[in-house]
């Protein structure tokens, strides 16, 4: 037998970089979160600047929290644990550095573009097409580095944390690629190839699974490695971890459509999403139980170890969030919760509690090890951070849960005469302002805790040795795999007196088959990929190929060139962050907003604008409801029209000129997507100028100011068009094509 031993060193420099970035971007994300929370309670905090409005800063906050704060934490966790679990230095140091700097470049580009209104308006996928390409390149670099490390590993069996890392890398790649298929219409503008109902389906297939495979599976991998290390206890159940992993990977991918109950999405799709969401209770709680029971015999350590405190509360929030998520997917519950702040509270209990606290536990555990100090600079500060964060989360979510339920009940309330009890939407807004102030307090407490963590880790860094020690690790090379390729023949069990059928059952129950999979990483990765793709295709194929899923309406026509440009302004300003464009078939909504929304109305919407919350009223039937001058006054100063409005003012729209030169390329891009634009493909700019002049003259006739060629004109054109087509007579003899052309994009 060979006694050859190989010597190598771990690369902890890359871990130090990602830990530092985690704390830096975490502080930025939480600060922006506090700012936008303040803006909802105090509209003056929008500062009347285009770059600081809630609509533009909210996607900056979500992207910073998910991809900058949580993303860098994931990479720190993966790079540190993978090297130890695989007994190998990362595949290539240059790839590690390229991954780090490439990811920071993506974050900076997001911070620069989103406040400027450069966005695709797709939840968690707002970044425009050049950044999408950069994300794909950096993710491939990460994948090559990770799988290259697996290829040169010195440990035959891959540990459970590696399973979750593999699922993350593979699935995020699939989600990112298929959600971000677009036609560019310029360097900073693109249109999704999907439209309306199909775009909504793809968005929430991506959106829900971005939560699943960016904010859940990698953090579960983190839990399976760092919690046992911190507690100095083995994972409670190996077999439960197998059940947890495979059921989560297969079931989670189906659940996205539950975000679209009672919308224009086909009912079968949202129902299927609900069924699989409810099924998620089991694997999710299996993971939580596996994590918490890992602490059996070590609970006494929790009282004195802040790392374990963060982990325990983080895992508890995981259990709470994964109980509430399936609950919210049930249609009767969703009818109350959807579009309300209840969903916001749910998201933040997961993000602040599960992701945030697991990250803090990770950072506090890693800091003395990667900076080679005896311990963290101050356990007392870490304890203070723990209690500030915990109380801050409770302030936040309790207030916003109350706000969400209040909103939902007020929206659907009728008085004794059968009329809406609160017909004026702003009444439902003013009622929850005190709860918004409580959220600000909770957010500030969480931010202060974040800053304490950064200070604590910085001071730990200052205690580092003059030169880091890089110990030499010794391990035998992997050698030839001599293990079984498949289950041993049942006949081998006869000698022990066991029936072949009983042996097969025992073999499966004891998960011996999985030990074979763990040795064969390629097979394991293929099986994971197949689980994700198979589950996805069962929903995607019918949605796209069965035309009856999107019935067409002959009177629905493409947006005129100026209206398309106005829609782009609506998207750039982030109006979708506060307003929905989807009237559900509930009496309360049709009484308040008008005729419920039909799937055929959205066949030219690239991307869809159904929204996910209502800080303001639904806008789908706003076309023709108010005069042009009402919109002028409303955008100039919302409180001049609605006294208690919390909407930002948009004075810059009255100064910025319509960029007529970009309209033709945008119409051309839409035409490439199959939108029947007719003559507009040759004269979009002229048509836009004519419509703008017509609206200008109408505003002057209403006693308004001269707004020649200003952006506000284009936005009004779009708003006045919204939801009006189904009430029109279908055009005849003008060469317009039937909307069916847009169904199968």
The residue to which tokens 């493909």 are assigned: 681
Domain boundaries, the chain: 483-515, 561-742
Cβ atoms of residues 256 and 213 within 8 Å: no
| b/e burial code for range 337-355 (CB count within 10 A of at least 16 → b) | bbbbbbbbbbbbbbbbbbb
Q: How far is CA 642 from CA 426, 547, 651, 662, in A?
A: 8, 43, 17, 34
- By CB neighbour count within 10 A (0-12 exposed, 13-18 middle, 19+ buried), where does 469 fall? exposed
Q: What is the Cα–Cα distance from 699 to 709, expressed in whole angstroms?
A: 12
| b/e burial code for range 218-237 (CB count within 10 A of at least 16 → b) | bbbbbbbbbbbebbebebbe
Q: Which residues share a beta bridge with 8?
A: 473
CATH architecture of 561-742: Orthogonal Bundle (1.10)
CA–centroid distance for 189 within its chain:
21
Supply the pTM of this predicted model.
0.94
Q: How many CA atoms lie within 13 A of 577 on its CB side?
A: 24
Q: Which residues share a beta bridge with 595?
A: none
Q: How many CA atoms lie within 13 A of 455 on its CB side?
A: 13
The pLDDT value recorded for residue 550 is: 79
- By CB neighbour count within 10 A (0-12 exposed, 13-18 middle, 19+ buried), where does 194 fall? buried
Contacts of 5 (CB under 8 A, 6+ apart): 474, 475, 476
Tokens of 411: 């929206």
The pLDDT value recorded for residue 736 is: 41
Angle between the N-to-C axes of helices 433-462 and 13-41, in degrees from 0 to 180, rounded to the nearest 10: 160
pLDDT (tens digit, 9 = 90+) per residue, 424-434?
999 999 999 99
Cβ atoms of residues 496 and 134 within 8 Å: no
The residue to which tokens 């936008």 are assigned: 36
Cβ atoms of residues 603 and 552 within 8 Å: yes
Angle between the N-to-C axes of helices 217-231 and 196-214, in degrees from 0 to 180, rounded to the nearest 10: 10
Contacts of 79 (CB under 8 A, 6+ apart): 11, 14, 15, 18, 90, 96
Q: What are phi and psi of 182, to 5 degrees?
A: -145, 170
Concatenated DSSP letters of 597-658:
P-GGGGTT-SS----SB-SS---TT-TTTS-HHHHHHHHH-HHHHSTT--PPP-GGGGTSBP
Q: How many CA atoms lie within 13 A of 109 on its CB side?
A: 18
The pLDDT value recorded for residue 730 is: 86
* Residue 7 parent element (H or E): strand 6-8
Cβ atoms of residues 579 and 55 within 8 Å: no
The pLDDT value recorded for residue 273 is: 95
The pLDDT value recorded for residue 485 is: 66
Q: What is the Cα–Cα distance from 152 to 370, expressed in whole angstroms?
A: 23
The pLDDT value recorded for residue 125 is: 96
Say if residue 277 is preceded by a cis peptide, omega within 30 of 0.
Answer: no
Q: Which 3 state secondary structure label does DSSP give 420?
A: strand
pLDDT (tens digit, 9 = 90+) per residue, 388-416?
999 999 999 999 999 999 999 999 999 99
Cβ atoms of residues 178 and 129 within 8 Å: no
Cβ atoms of residues 79 and 143 within 8 Å: no
Q: What is the Cα–Cα distance from 605 to 465, expressed in whole angstroms?
A: 58
Q: Which residues share a beta bridge with 710?
A: 657
Low-confidence residues in the chain, pLDDT < 70: 1-3, 485-500, 503-504, 507-508, 510, 732-745
Q: What is the Cα–Cα distance from 75 to 67, expressed in whole angstroms?
A: 11
Q: What is the Cα–Cα distance from 608 to 196, expressed in whole angstroms?
A: 5
């Amino acid at each position: 037998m060979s006694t050859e031993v190989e010597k190598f060193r771990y690369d902890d420099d890359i871990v130090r970089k990602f830990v530092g970035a985690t704390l830096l971007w975490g502080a930025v994300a939480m600060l922006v979160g506090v700012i936008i929370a303040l803006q909802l309670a105090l509209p003056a905090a929008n500062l009347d600047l285009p770059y600081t409005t809630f609509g533009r800063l909210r996607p900056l906050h979500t992207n910073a929290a998910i991809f900058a704060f949580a993303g860098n934490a994931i990479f720190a966790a993966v790079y540190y644990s993978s090297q130890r679990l695989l007994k190998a230095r990362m595949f290539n140091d240059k790839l590690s550095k390229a991954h780090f700097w490439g990811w920071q470049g993506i974050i900076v580009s997001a911070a620069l573009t989103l406040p400027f209104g450069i966005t695709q308006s797709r939840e968690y996928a707002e970044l425009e097409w050049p950044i999408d390409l950069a994300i794909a390149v950096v993710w491939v670099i990460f994948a090559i580095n990770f799988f290259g490390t697996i290829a040169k590993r010195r440990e035959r069996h891959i540990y459970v944390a590696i399973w979750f890392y593999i699922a993350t890398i593979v699935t995020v790649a699939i989600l990112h690629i298929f959600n971000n298929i677009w036609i560019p219409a310029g360097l900073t503008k693109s249109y999704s190839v999907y439209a309306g109902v199909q775009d909504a389906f793809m968005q929430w297939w991506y959106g829900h699974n971005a939560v699943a495979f960016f904010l859940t599976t990698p953090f579960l991998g983190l839990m399976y490695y760092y919690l046992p290390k911190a507690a100095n206890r083995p994972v409670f159940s190996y077999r439960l971890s197998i059940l947890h992993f495979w059921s989560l990977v297969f079931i989670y991918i189906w659940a996205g459509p539950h975000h679209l109950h009672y919308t224009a999405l086909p009912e079968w799709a949202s129902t299927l999403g609900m069924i699989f969401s409810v099924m998620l209770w089991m694997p999710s709680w299996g993971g939580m139980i596996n994590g918490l029971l890992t602490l059996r015999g070590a609970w006494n350590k929790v009282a004195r170890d802040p790392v374990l405190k963060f982990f325990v509360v983080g895992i508890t929030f995981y259990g709470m969030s994964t109980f509430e998520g399936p609950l919210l997917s049930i249609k009767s519950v969703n009818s109350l919760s959807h579009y309300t702040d209840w969903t916001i509270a749910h998201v933040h209990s997961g993000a602040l509690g599960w992701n945030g606290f697991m990250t803090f536990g990770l950072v506090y555990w890693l800091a003395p090890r990667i900076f080679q100090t005896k311990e963290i600079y101050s356990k007392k500060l870490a304890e203070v951070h723990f209690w500030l964060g915990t109380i801050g989360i409770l302030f936040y979510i309790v207030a916003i849960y109350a706000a969400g339920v209040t909103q939902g009940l007020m929206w659907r309330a009728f008085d004794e005469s059968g009329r809406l009890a609160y017909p004026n939407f702003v009444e439902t807004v003013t009622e929850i302002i005190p709860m918004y102030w409580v959220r600000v307090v909770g957010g500030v407490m969480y931010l202060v805790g974040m800053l304490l963590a950064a200070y604590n880790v910085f001071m730990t860094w200052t205690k580092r040795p003059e030169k880091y020690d890089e110990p030499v690790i010794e391990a035998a090379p992997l050698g030839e795999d001599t293990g079984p390729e498949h289950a041993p023949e049942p006949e081998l069990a006869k000698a022990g007196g066991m029936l072949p059928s009983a042996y097969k059952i025992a073999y499966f129950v004891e998960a011996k088959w999985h030990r074979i999979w763990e040795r064969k990483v390629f097979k394991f990765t293929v099986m994971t990929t197949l689980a994700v793709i198979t589950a996805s295709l069962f929903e995607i194929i019918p949605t796209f190929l069965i035309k009856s899923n999107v019935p067409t309406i002959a009177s629905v026509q493409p947006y005129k060139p100026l209206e398309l440009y106005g829609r782009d302004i609506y998207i750039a300003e982030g109006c979708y962050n506060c307003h929905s464009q989807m009237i559900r078939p509930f009496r309360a909504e049709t009484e308040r907003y008008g005729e419920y929304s039909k799937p055929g109305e959205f066949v030219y919407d690239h991307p869809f604008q159904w929204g996910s919350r209502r800080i303001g009223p639904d806008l789908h039937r706003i076309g023709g409801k108010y005069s042009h001058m009402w919109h002028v006054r409303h955008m100039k100063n919302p409180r001049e029209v609605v006294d208690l409005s919390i909407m930002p003012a948009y004075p810059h729209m009255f100064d910025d000129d319509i960029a007529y030169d970009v309209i033709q390329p945008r119409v051309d891009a839409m035409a490439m997507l199959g939108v029947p634009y007719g003559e507009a493909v040759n004269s979009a700019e002229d048509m836009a100028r004519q419509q703008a002049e017509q609206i200008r003259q109408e505003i002057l006739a209403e006693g308004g100011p001269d707004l020649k060629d200003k952006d506000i004109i284009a936005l009004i054109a779009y708003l006045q068009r919204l939801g009006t087509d189904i009430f029109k007579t279908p055009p005849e003899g003008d060469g317009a094509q039937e909307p069916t052309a847009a169904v199968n994009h």
